[in-house]
Amino acid sequence: MDHSNHTTLLQAGSQTAISDRMRELLARAAQDHVYEQRTQGAVLDEIRQRLEGMEWLLREVRERELGGLSGALETVSGRLDDITTRPPSWAEGLAQHVEAVRDHVDAVGEQVGNVDARVESVSERVKPVIELPSLWADVGAVSESLDEALSRLQSVVDSSEGISQRLGDFAGRLGQLNASMEAAANRFTRLDKSMADLTTRTERIEAGLSALPGAVEAKFKTVDEAMTASTELLSASIEEVGAKVDDAESRLAGRLDGLDGRADRVEGRLVAVETRLTSVDGRIETADGCLADIDTRLDGVDGRLGGLDSRLAGVDQRLGAVDGHLGRHDDRFDGLDGRIDGRFTALDERMAGTGNQLGETATRVEGRFNDLGIHLDTIDERLSEVEERVVTRFDGLDATLTGMSTTADKASEHLEAIDDRVEAVNQRVGQLPVTLSISERVGELLDTQTIEHVKRLDAIDERLTAAAAALTDAVTARPDRAELAESVTGIVEPATTDLTKRLGALEETMLALAEALLRPSRNTKD
């Protein structure tokens, strides 16, 4: 109210004017009060209308925008669940290819096991051939026994000149037998060399043999039987020869021992005769009558010497028979030597043919293993290419997820900016006059709406964070990260764009409402 004329009215002392002036002032104050009440009612009606519009707008946003956002999130989660539960077609094909490779490797392992079993059977069959050095040791022992027999026969030759020539012939024949045995030893040496070569070849092809044909097995059986038969025949012949040589040696030793005994007895008798002749010579001078007795005794001695000569002739005949028997044995040894040479020649030819067949088999097996190695190398290259593709896809998916995380960070920052703006609007609305009682109502409404929206946005942020973490784990565990990144990018980018547009529209609406609420009210005076 205007109190500028109070002093003048009091100084005038006019009570009527004062009362009139007071009535006028009271009437004006009442008019002003009525006008202010009307103005406040109009302002409150306008604020109520705008708050109702804001409530309607928030309800529309809650029903339409947030519902559409939740539906989009549900569709995204459904797509992600489908992607996580359903493997891609190329992964199934890769699994089938890996299974096929595994089956092929198992088949190759079984073939290698069969090869090992076949090689073991071959080694068992080759054992009799490997035991030929023991047979050569037996032959060496026989040759040593023959050398001892030669030494003993040489001693017999030294003791008896008559038998020396025959024993010399026998020694020559034994030398021929020794030469044939040396030739057999050379052949055994060549056979040992061929067996060593065969052993080296079998060692080279042990890791590569896949299967030997039945013909080779049959040939190995025949070779094994032939080798067994030849070994048995050779062992039997060597044992027979050794037995015959031992028998002949024992017989010759017995007969020579008998001859030595008889010669010793003859020498003893001759010594006795000489002593007796000496005594006779001594006694000739004394007694001529004893000469008749000495003559008779000499006749007896002559008869005994004749018997000894006949016995020596029988011994000569028996030695001739032994010589003929040894000659027949020499012929048999020559025939046996020829047979052994023929059999060893055939055995060498068969072993050479077997070596050629084994060489061909080794080349075939090496070619097959080379093809298998090339095939495995191609499979390794394909697997490396697949691995590189998977790595590149995972790298692209990591980049996409990084972009998504940055987009989510930007969205959270945008929401924080919206929260800051809402708080600024709250502060500006709180600065309205207290008399209008707008601040409490608007503050309560904005607090409830802000808290509700903040909770919803926090829940959405938590759901997005959990979904992003689950998506990151699932995508990291999946081999098709590139395809998943493309599909997720195609789903998330439109949803993010739509959400950004809707948040921008909501922000503009809130700013317009705040500007409308913060506009200055009309003057209280007309």
275-279, 281-285, 350-354: lowest mean pLDDT where?
Answer: 281-285
Which of 95, 81, 115 lies closest to 467, judged by CA? 81
Most confident of 164-173, 208-217, 328-337: 328-337
Banded model confidence at residue 31, pLDDT cuts 50, 70, 90: confident
Q: State residue 381's pLDDT score.
A: 77
264 burial type by CB count under 10 A (0-12 exposed, 13-18 middle, 19+ buried) = exposed
Q: Does the structure show a pLDDT above 50 at 524? A: no
**CA 467 to CA 405: how far, in whole Å?**
12
Q: Does the structure show a pLDDT above 50 at 491? A: yes
To the question of pTM greater than 0.85 for the whole model, the response is: no
Q: State residue 8's pLDDT score.
A: 46
Banded model confidence at residue 508, pLDDT cuts 50, 70, 90: confident
Q: Does the structure show a pLDDT above 60 at 163? A: no
Which residue would you say has higher pLDDT here, 208 or 331?
Answer: 331
Q: Does the structure show a pLDDT above 50 at 358? A: yes
Q: State residue 487's pLDDT score.
A: 72
Q: Does the structure show a pLDDT above 80 at 42? A: yes
Q: Does the structure show a pLDDT above 60 at 124? A: yes
Q: State residue 39's pLDDT score.
A: 85
181 burial type by CB count under 10 A (0-12 exposed, 13-18 middle, 19+ buried) = buried
Which of 347, 461, 487, 355 lies closest to 405, judged by CA? 461
CB 499 within 8 A of CB 69: yes
84-98, 335-349, 402-416: lowest mean pLDDT where?
Answer: 84-98
Q: Does the structure show a pLDDT above 60 at 5? A: no
CB 69 within 8 A of CB 453: no
**CA 361 to CA 353: how far, in whole Å?**
12
Which amino acid makes up residue 273? V
279-293, 305-319, 458-472: lowest mean pLDDT where?
Answer: 279-293
The tokens for 179 are 């030469």
Average pLDDT over the chain, rounded to whole?
66
Mean pLDDT of 271-283: 64
- Dihedral class, residue 437 (left if φ above 0, else alpha if ψ from -120 to 50, else beta): left
For residues 486-520, one letter each, b for 16 or more C-beta atoms within 10 angstroms of the residue's C-beta and e for the rest, the string is eebbebbeebbeebeebbeebeebbeebbeebeee
Banded model confidence at residue 70, pLDDT cuts 50, 70, 90: low
Q: Does the structure show a pLDDT above 80 at 30? A: yes
